[in-house]
């Protein structure tokens, strides 16, 4: 038989009120408060992780300038290496530099002819047959200058003869030599370029001369 709330004694009414409040509190705890508490705990843990990561990164701050300095040094070394063994064959610049050193040394760089290139693992060798004539010591000066070029140039198969016996130098052509010229020479000049970024060089016609080379 159902009992009306108003029929209960005052003590029992208070008991029912307290019990109902407890039930509502428990329900709210598990539905709202517990969920919010879990979210707060997760947020606190996320903040703690970020703080720990920031502290770890902060330890690298004193090393930052040193790392930047090392990167700058590496970039400088890379620039130097690219001048020594460039990424691009730049044949015309190479021939012009050889002709420039010949003029400074006082010899005539008469002719060049491209030979088949040779591809290695990290670089490609690009050889040229060349012929020159001039005074003996000027010729020595030329090869000394070539040896000091920033770009690597290897000289091989050098054959030297007097201008009176030019054929002994295995020249392809002979010329009207000036009175002060005493020697002629044929040789192979080999330069190199990196083929990490391989580009096809334009074909070079044998015996062709860039502007200003030879007579």
Residue 162 has pLDDT above 90, yes or no: yes
Q: Which tens digit of pLDDT belongs to each residue from 32-77?
A: 665 666 676 777 787 778 777 777 777 666 776 776 676 666 666 6
Average pLDDT over residues 4-28: 58
Query: How many Å apart are CA 18 and CA 24, to the nearest integer?
Result: 10
What are the DSSP calls for 84-96, one per residue? HS-SS--HHHHHH
Q: Is residue 131 assigned to a domain?
A: yes
156 φ, ψ to 5°? -145, 170
Q: Is residue 173 assigned to a domain?
A: yes
CATH number at 149 reads 3.30.70.60
3-state SS, residue 107: coil
With cut-offs at 50, 70 and 90, classify the pLDDT of residue 212: very low
Q: Is residue 142 assigned to a domain?
A: yes
3-state SS, residue 110: strand
**Residues 100, 177 within the same domain:** yes
Q: Is residue 144 assigned to a domain?
A: yes
Average pLDDT over residues 154-173: 91
Domain range holding 185? Answer: 91-194
**Residues 188, 141 within the same domain:** yes
Q: Is residue 188 assigned to a domain?
A: yes
**Residues 100, 43 within the same domain:** no
Please count the structural domains in the chain: 2
Q: Is the dihedral of CA 27, 30, 34, 35 positive or negative?
A: negative
Q: Residue 186: what pLDDT?
A: 94
**Residues 172, 115 within the same domain:** yes
Q: Is residue 139 assigned to a domain?
A: yes
**Residues 114, 175 within the same domain:** yes
Query: How many Å apart are CA 78 and CA 188, to the nearest integer?
Result: 28
Q: Which tens digit of pLDDT belongs to each residue from 107-154?
A: 999 999 999 988 888 888 889 999 999 999 999 999 999 999 888 899
Query: How many Å apart are CA 71 and CA 65, to the nearest integer?
Result: 10
What percent of the chain lies above the pLDDT cut of 90? Answer: 28
**Residues 112, 31 within the same domain:** no
**Residues 118, 42 within the same domain:** no
**Residues 52, 101 within the same domain:** no
Q: Is residue 97 assigned to a domain?
A: yes
With cut-offs at 50, 70 and 90, classify the pLDDT of residue 206: very low
Burial of 182 (0-12, 13-18, 19+ CB in 10 A): middle
**Residues 131, 188 within the same domain:** yes
Q: Residue 46: what pLDDT?
A: 78
Average pLDDT over residues 179-208: 71
- The pTM (predicted TM-score) of the whole model is 0.57
For residues 188 and 81, which has the higher predicted lDDT (pLDDT)?
A: 188
Find the angle CA(177)-CA(156)-CA(197) to the nearest 5 degrees: 115
**Residues 188, 95 within the same domain:** yes
Residue 12 has pLDDT above 70, yes or no: no
The tokens for 120 are: 């290695």
Find the angle CA(120)-CA(126)-CA(132) to the nearest 5 degrees: 150
Q: Residue written as tokens 């690219």?
A: 82
Q: Residue 47: what pLDDT?
A: 77
Query: How many Å apart are CA 68 and CA 156, to the nearest integer?
Result: 43
Average pLDDT of the chain, as a whole number: 76
Query: How many Å apart are CA 25 and CA 204, to the nearest integer?
Result: 92
**Residues 32, 125 within the same domain:** no
Q: Is residue 117 assigned to a domain?
A: yes
Average pLDDT over residues 161-177: 89
For residues 8 and 153, which has the higher predicted lDDT (pLDDT)?
A: 153
């Amino acid at each position: 038989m159902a009992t009306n709330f108003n029929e209960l004694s005052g003590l029992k009414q208070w008991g029912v009120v307290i019990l109902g409040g407890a039930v509502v509190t428990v329900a709210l705890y598990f539905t709202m408060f517990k969920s919010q508490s879990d979210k707060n705990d997760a947020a606190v843990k996320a903040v703690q992780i970020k703080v720990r990561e920031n502290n770890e990164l902060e330890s690298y701050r004193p090393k930052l300038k040193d790392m930047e300095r090392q990167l700058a040094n590496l970039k400088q070394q890379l620039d130097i290496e690219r001048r020594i063994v460039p990424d691009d064959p730049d044949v015309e610049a190479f021939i012009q530099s050889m002709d420039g050193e010949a003029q400074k040394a006082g010899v005539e760089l008469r002719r060049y002819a491209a030979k088949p290139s040779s591809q290695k693992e990290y670089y490609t060798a690009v050889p040229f047959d060349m012929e020159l004539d001039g005074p003996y010591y000027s010729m020595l000066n030329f090869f000394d200058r070539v040896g000091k070029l920033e770009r690597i140039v290897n000289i091989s198969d050098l054959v030297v003869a007097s201008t009176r016996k030019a054929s002994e130098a295995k020249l392809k052509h002979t010329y009207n030599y000036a009175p002060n010229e005493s020697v002629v020479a044929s040789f192979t000049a080999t330069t190199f370029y990196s083929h990490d970024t391989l580009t096809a060089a334009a074909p070079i016609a044998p015996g062709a001369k860039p502007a200003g080379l030879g007579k």
